[in-house]
Structure 1
Amino acid sequence: MSKKKTDVAIVNRSFWPQSQVIGEGLLQFAEQVAQHHSVCVITQAEGDLAAKLAKEGRGKGVQIKACKAYTTSASGVLKRIAEAVFFMLWTFISLVRAKPANIYVSTNPPVVVPFIVALYCRLFRAHYVYHLQDIHPEAANIVVPVNKLLFRLLQSIDNYTLRHAAIIITLSEDMKAYIQQRSNTLKPIELLDNPSFEVSPVPMAERTKDIIFCGNAGRLQRIPLLLAAIEDYLKQGGRLSFTFAGGGVHAPDVQALANAYEQVKYLGFIPATEAAELVNQHRWALLPIDDEVTKYAFPSKSSGYALSGAGVLAVCGKDTAVARWVVKNKAGIVCDANHAALVDCFFSIENNISENYLVNPETKGKLQLPYFALQLYRFVTPDLSVVCKTDARKTL
């Protein structure tokens, strides 16, 4: 086989600056690698990403291989599938040209792109680290039922990718157990929380607003249940105020509720750094999630909520990874995902003094972007992990 031209390739459809949190984490990871190795980023972007990085003084030594982005999280399923196939082809062509020895690939987009990375590595004797931030086709099947034959085919493809990865990264013990059970992989599986921007938590007594939902109002976030419970609570004379920020397929429904009630505000999409400060103004943060999907995914907004010190109000079953995370970290409370329980929970919050919900320093360090980037550096380039020991101590 031909000699490798690039030491590390980072494959992810979303990158800085459009993906403000994960994209920033991957950029920090790329910048760390670039200090010691040649590195390229294979991604999609709006405009000239290399020029944007240069203008901001970022990404020194990082090669950019970016194709145009056509869809968003609010786009239709068929459009997103078509773009995933397009990005798969772009990824393979870019890998053949770059000839990386080591590759980081995540589930963005899922299944097909990690599989094409696995095929490249098999053909060119390279290694890859597979980061499952969600597990497909199972997560997609909850939103839009997948044809049974296609479902099994996608599972088989992904199982191949899992069994041939050097290291697998995922988010929770539940996801780890499911990956092992489904694929029978013997490869090491590491857990790594999704990161968030660090903020200085405002003391609870100084917070001026009540409850916030900040993130994607998508198909798995129980938005119809949440909006119906809020409306019922307000009709019964509830005094709490509710703020929503972010996009998603249910954004029009959120806007309609905000139009009908003064106590509900919808701010639309806002930058991640502003979102972190916005959460910091609220006493409570909503974390609704479909129970079934917690086996295959974990809400990324949880880290930002925990770092802010707002009380996390998880709306899900008590025997889920999300509920256990909230209880373990003493981050807030868990409410069963049914209408009556949620209305009662709002009244309970209204009638009781809120506590401070500050995670311990060790957990806080592991939720921040520098730690996330450092762990990826260690997993993808383990032979150079000694380089960043000092930095690791600083992030904890």
Structure 2
Amino acid sequence: MARKKTDLAIVNRSFRPDSPIGEGLLQFGELAVASGTVCVITQAEGDLKRELIDAGRGEGIEVRACKAYTTSASGVIKRIAEALFFMLWTFIGLVRSKPANVYVSTNPPVVVPFIVAVYCRLFGAKYVYHLQDVHPEAANIVVPVNRLLLKLLQGLDNFTLRHADSVITLSEDMKSYIRKRSGTERPIHLLDNPSFEVIPVPMEQRTGDLVFCGNAGRLQRIPLLMTAIRDYLQQGGKLRFTFAGGGVHAPDVEALASAYEQVEYLGFIPATDAAVLVNQHRWALLPIDDEVTKYAFPSKSSGYALSGAGVLAVCGEDTSVARWVEQLGVGIVCPADHNALVKCFFSLEGRNGDDFAMSSDLREKLHVPYFAAELCRIAVPGSVNGEVTYA
């Protein structure tokens, strides 16, 4: 077995500090590099090394970044091709850096975590597998996957799960499904996706009504939202709606905004600007397909909750998202039904003073530094509360 050159490799398609997860992984790397060597295998649109140097970040972290060509709005075939390309880039990067420990997430899913598992089996390294989405099931909801291909991808992912040193995911529903599908006996940790710190604005100072920030994709019930908002406004509804973000349904949102003065579409905005935008509104829209909640959890949920805006979850009552909203007391749940949603919008016209403030302990667990410290605790041998001592 070849002698290890690197203590930890972090494998993820995004490592940019302008997103909460990217910032979380960067802070994770900065914690880990204090006591060992760290390599990041990632993709970037520009020169990530130079960007980190100019920002005074990531000192001592080795960056292996290939060019990114697709976004969440790109076609499925292009995204699959890029995932396969990144898989090869990852394997080459691992062989060159020879890490003793690897952290890998589902960005991109299945094939990249699998190649990490193969590397670790061949070279005697350990890895932690972070499932921020359970694939291929989540993808199968969007674009039906051939049955044989689905079974093959599940088999690859089950191999990765069973041989991981430990697993991280987002909800009890996802944890239960992972155990059932893979039969893994490895430890499974629950960790919320992080948000940048948000200082809530008092409700009486908020000038906006409802806001949606994030990916207007295939799983966010955007067509239902558009028809319900249109019907609500045609019936004389008074609320105003603000949308920000890209995605395949962005043209539908833009069309609605062009037709109604009470709807505004801002296009894609940086995550920090999105946090400020949510802070200006009384309610934050959180629509999600019920089936996908078994395999994923909306990433914008943490930022919504921290903002103090009321979360309006549009989903079934028996979902992880509905339970999260109700258990944390951060908003209300509306069934994913056209008439119910129109009725809910009217009911919100008289609800402007709701208090959805979270406790300080809960708030801390949704912030980026907590996320980074937990990754360090789970993924780095000898780490205690984010303090790293390599074995």
8 A contact 1:221–1:290 mirrored in 2: yes
1:49-79 alpha-carbon deviations (Å, 9 max, x no partner) = 1111000100000000000101000000000
1:189-225 alpha-carbon deviations (Å, 9 max, x no partner) = 0000000011110111111110000000000000000
* AA aligned opposite 1:16: R
Q: 1:363 matched to which residue of 2?
A: 362
Structure 1: gaps spanning 5 or more residues: 390-396
> 1:239-250 to 2 correspondence within 5 Å?
239-250=238-249
1:337-373 alpha-carbon deviations (Å, 9 max, x no partner) = 0000000000000133430111111110000000000
> 1:87-98 to 2 correspondence within 5 Å?
87-98=86-97
CA distance in 1, matches of 2:348, 2:381: 47
8 A contact 1:203–1:356 mirrored in 2: no
Deviation at 1:387, TM superposition (A): 6.0
8 A contact 2:203–2:352 mirrored in 1: no
8 A contact 1:7–1:100 mirrored in 2: yes
CA distance in 1, matches of 2:287, 2:262: 20
8 A contact 2:228–2:341 mirrored in 1: yes
Deviation at 1:14, TM superposition (A): 1.1
Count of aligned pairs:
388
Q: 2:83 matched to which residue of 1?
A: 84
* AA aligned opposite 1:378: R
CA distance in 2, matches of 1:111, 1:185: 16
8 A contact 2:195–2:367 mirrored in 1: yes
- Runs of 4+ aligned residues of structure 1 deviating over 2 Å after TM superposition are 351-354, 386-389
* AA aligned opposite 1:273: T
CA distance in 2, matches of 1:46, 1:324: 37
Deviation at 1:386, TM superposition (A): 5.5
Q: 2:322 matched to which residue of 1?
A: 323
Q: 1:210 matched to which residue of 2?
A: 209
CA spacing shift, 1:283–1:387, aligned 2, 3 Å: closer
Q: 1:177 matched to which residue of 2?
A: 176
Q: 2:9 matched to which residue of 1?
A: 9
> 1:130-279 to 2 correspondence within 5 Å?
130-279=129-278
* AA aligned opposite 2:304: Y
Q: Secondary structure at the match of 2:384?
A: helix
1:131-190 alpha-carbon deviations (Å, 9 max, x no partner) = 000000100000000000000000000000000000100000000000000001000000
Q: 1:24 matched to which residue of 2?
A: 23
Q: Secondary structure at the match of 1:358?
A: coil
8 A contact 2:282–2:352 mirrored in 1: no
Under a length normalisation based on structure 1, what TM-score does the superposition of the two structures give? 0.97
**Which stretch shows the higher mean deviation, 356-365 or 289-298?**
356-365
Q: Secondary structure at the match of 1:388?
A: coil
Structure 2: gaps spanning 5 or more residues: none
Q: Secondary structure at the match of 1:351?
A: coil
Q: 1:101 matched to which residue of 2?
A: 100
CA distance in 1, matches of 2:28, 2:386: 13
Q: 1:392 matched to which residue of 2?
A: none
CA distance in 2, matches of 1:47, 1:226: 35
Q: Secondary structure at the match of 2:211?
A: strand
Deviation at 1:384, TM superposition (A): 2.6
> 1:18-97 to 2 correspondence within 5 Å?
20-97=19-96
Deviation at 1:20, TM superposition (A): 1.4
Deviation at 1:381, TM superposition (A): 1.1
CA distance in 1, matches of 2:217, 2:123: 39
8 A contact 1:208–1:281 mirrored in 2: yes
* AA aligned opposite 1:206: Q
Identical aligned residues as a percent: 72
Q: Secondary structure at the match of 1:169?
A: strand
Q: Secondary structure at the match of 1:383?
A: coil
CA distance in 1, matches of 2:141, 2:101: 33
Q: Secondary structure at the match of 1:247?
A: coil
* AA aligned opposite 2:11: V
CA distance in 1, matches of 2:326, 2:173: 15
* AA aligned opposite 2:374: Q
CA distance in 2, matches of 1:370, 1:291: 30
Under a length normalisation based on structure 2, what TM-score does the superposition of the two structures give? 0.98
CA distance in 2, matches of 1:268, 1:377: 35
CA distance in 2, matches of 1:307, 1:388: 26
* AA aligned opposite 1:337: A
* AA aligned opposite 1:13: R
CA distance in 2, matches of 1:146, 1:226: 26
Deviation at 1:47, TM superposition (A): 1.9
Deviation at 1:332, TM superposition (A): 0.2
The alignment's C-alpha RMSD in Å is 1.0
Deviation at 1:229, TM superposition (A): 0.3
CA distance in 2, matches of 1:257, 1:282: 19
* AA aligned opposite 1:4: K
**Which stretch shows the higher mean deviation, 105-114 or 41-50?**
41-50
* AA aligned opposite 1:202: V
CA distance in 1, matches of 2:38, 2:351: 53
CA distance in 2, matches of 1:112, 1:269: 29
* AA aligned opposite 1:268: G
Deviation at 1:236, TM superposition (A): 0.3
